Structure 1
Amino acid sequence: MPPRAAHPGTANPPGAGPRTDPATEPHPPGQRRTGSGEPSGAASDTAPGGPMGAPPGDPLDGIAGWAPATTPAGRFRLVPVRLDHDLPLLTRWMNEPAVAAFWELDGPPGVTAAHLRAQLDGDGRSVPCLGVLDGTPMSYFEIYRADLDPLAAHYPARPHDTGVHLLIGGGTDRGRGLGTTLLRAVADLVLDHRPRCTRVLAEPDLRNTPSVAAFLGAGFRFDAEVDLPDKRAALMIRERALSHLL
């Protein structure tokens, strides 16, 4: 996998998952993207007065305060990563072969810590989160502003486009359809709590048919093939206008 580019506004944040399991497909934000700067009009995206009680200037509208979702698998919540508390768990997940093959963050805790710190020390446009199901952390998400990311150079970005990357931590949780369930829940959470966001995006490897199928099952549609620095991706989009039909 080629070297990864720095995420705008961060030291060197996250991007892709395995080609055999949709649960570990997406690349962490910013590590496999190219380009620099922000799309025109981006300045207003972090203007004071975030919606629904979010801190002023928060690019992602206060993920820490988002309500949990009820899913067929249980009660699910996104909880922003606390580096001092969550590093051992995330390091263990990153060292599992199915995850390491695509995230390339295997090794000692310092490797995972640097990856997380680049986001945590940034401006909030990429937020690493644990996915907690019925009180148990079992997945890792990165929610990021696609319109403020170099990814925006590869597709017609709209203000407040929100990107999602996912890995499911434990091997016993993979291959059970949880990827589709959680992707649907997270897309719903984004659209429910980010009123200015009209769509949620993802870019799994085009060759990863199971991953593309998981996004389709979660209400995303295939929009286009996109050439990214390390892969040919399937641009998947979940539109707000369609969410009431899901």
Structure 2
Amino acid sequence: MPPTESGTESSTDSGTDAGASPGTPSDGGAEDTLDLRLPDEFIALFGEDADQAGLPAAGAGAGLLAAVAGEAVDREGLLDAPADWGAVPTPLGAFQLVPVRIERDLHLISRWMNDPAVAAFWQLAGPESVAETHLRSQLDGDGRSAPCLGVLDGVPMSYFEIYRADLDPLARHYPARPHDTGIHLLIGGVADRGHGVGTALLRAVADLVLDQRPRCSRVVAEPDLRNTPSVSAFLSAGFRFSAEVDLPDKRAALMVRDRALSNLL
């Protein structure tokens, strides 16, 4: 599976090795989220969400699985509709997440994936069909992962995946909380790498998630531990290093941005 965040702050590293997480469908189903054994407290919290959403009272656990399967909750509800989040000011200009459309964006994203610095972490180099399969697995899925272009002052210059970390196989590897939201990022053009660009984008998107997802108390990421520019960018963007995590395809640095500290870091 592709990793997390390649090349955020390095001119040799592309973007941020925040590639596909263990739960991204492109990993061939090595880990199935529906097999996760959820703690009773975790399920109880989802039961509260089910009550608020009008789901059947007996379905705290069942309601969660139905939501994961895309049956009881609309697709956009799992991530609170990133398409509606709008633009935000950053030190670099106005930034907005724009949901990917295959027919419009495939060529550009595939070109970015074939950059050797990106391919080293995302592992999605090759013909356009490789990137297309990866994108369609999310666009046609249950809504727990949303692929987006990062558009700066009207120019697409980065690729993001916003995903429900608590509904992802990543949750097998750390003490997940309900509504934990993950970020994967790559910066497309060499000219946009370094100079604090990755830090500014990560901070902007993490703040967007916390502003637009009131039930989310933490934003998480799992860059490859070897990608020190990426880890450094997360730290500069207000994330804290939480732990080293052994994932199926890499040893990762679990990075966490806490809502409670977001105004301080």
* TM-score (structure 2 length as normaliser): 0.80
Residue number in structure 1 paired with 2:199: 180
Out of 3, 15, 20, the residue aligned to residue 3 of structure 2 is 15
Residue number in structure 1 paired with 2:164: 145
Residue number in structure 1 paired with 2:59: none
Bigger mean CA deviation after superposition, 82-91 or 23-32: 23-32
Residue number in structure 2 paired with 1:79: 98
Q: Distance in 2 between matches of 1:45 and 1:116?
A: 32
Q: Which residues of 2 match residues 209-228 of structure 1 at below 5 A?
A: 209-228=228-247
Out of 86, 108, 112, the residue aligned to residue 127 of structure 2 is 108
Out of 107, 116, 119, the residue aligned to residue 88 of structure 1 is 107
Residue number in structure 1 paired with 2:31: 35
| Percentage of pairs with the same residue | 65
Q: Which has the higher helix share?
A: 2
Q: Using the TM superposition, give the Cα deviation of residue 44 of structure 1 relative to its aligned residue in structure 2, in angstroms.
A: 4.9
| Aligned residues of 1:22 and 1:214 also touching (Cα < 8 A) | no
Instruction: Say whether 1:170 aligns with 2:158.
Output: no
Residue number in structure 2 paired with 1:128: 147
Residue number in structure 1 paired with 2:64: none
Larger Rg: 2
Q: Distance in 2 between matches of 1:70 and 1:208?
A: 28
| Aligned residues of 1:45 and 1:160 also touching (Cα < 8 A) | no
| Aligned residues of 1:49 and 1:56 also touching (Cα < 8 A) | no
For structure 1, the 5+ residue unaligned runs are 5-13
For structure 2, the 5+ residue unaligned runs are 55-72
- Tell me the amino acid that sits aligned with residue 171 of structure 2: A
| Aligned residues of 1:35 and 1:153 also touching (Cα < 8 A) | no
Instruction: Say whether 1:99 aligns with 2:118.
Output: yes
Q: Distance in 2 between matches of 1:160 and 1:17?
A: 21
Q: Distance in 2 between matches of 1:171 and 1:186?
A: 20
- Counterpart of 2:262 in 1: which secondary structure? helix
| Aligned residues of 1:22 and 1:210 also touching (Cα < 8 A) | no
Q: Using the TM superposition, give the Cα deviation of residue 215 of structure 1 relative to its aligned residue in structure 2, in angstroms.
A: 0.3
Aligned length: 230
- Tell me the amino acid that sits aligned with residue 175 of structure 1: G
Once the two structures are superposed, residues 187-235 of structure 1 have per-residue CA deviations (whole angstroms, 9 ceiling, x without a partner) of 0000000000000001111122211110000000011111111111111
Q: Distance in 2 between matches of 1:122 and 1:132?
A: 24
Out of 208, 220, 240, the residue aligned to residue 189 of structure 1 is 208
- Counterpart of 1:102 in 2: which secondary structure? helix
Shift of the 177–21 alpha-carbon distance from structure 1 to 2, 3 Å rule, reads: farther
Q: Distance in 1 between matches of 2:211 and 2:232?
A: 24
Q: Using the TM superposition, give the Cα deviation of residue 45 of structure 1 relative to its aligned residue in structure 2, in angstroms.
A: 8.9
Cα RMSD of the aligned pairs, angstroms, is: 2.3
Out of 25, 30, 38, the residue aligned to residue 17 of structure 2 is 25
Q: Using the TM superposition, give the Cα deviation of residue 176 of structure 1 relative to its aligned residue in structure 2, in angstroms.
A: 2.1
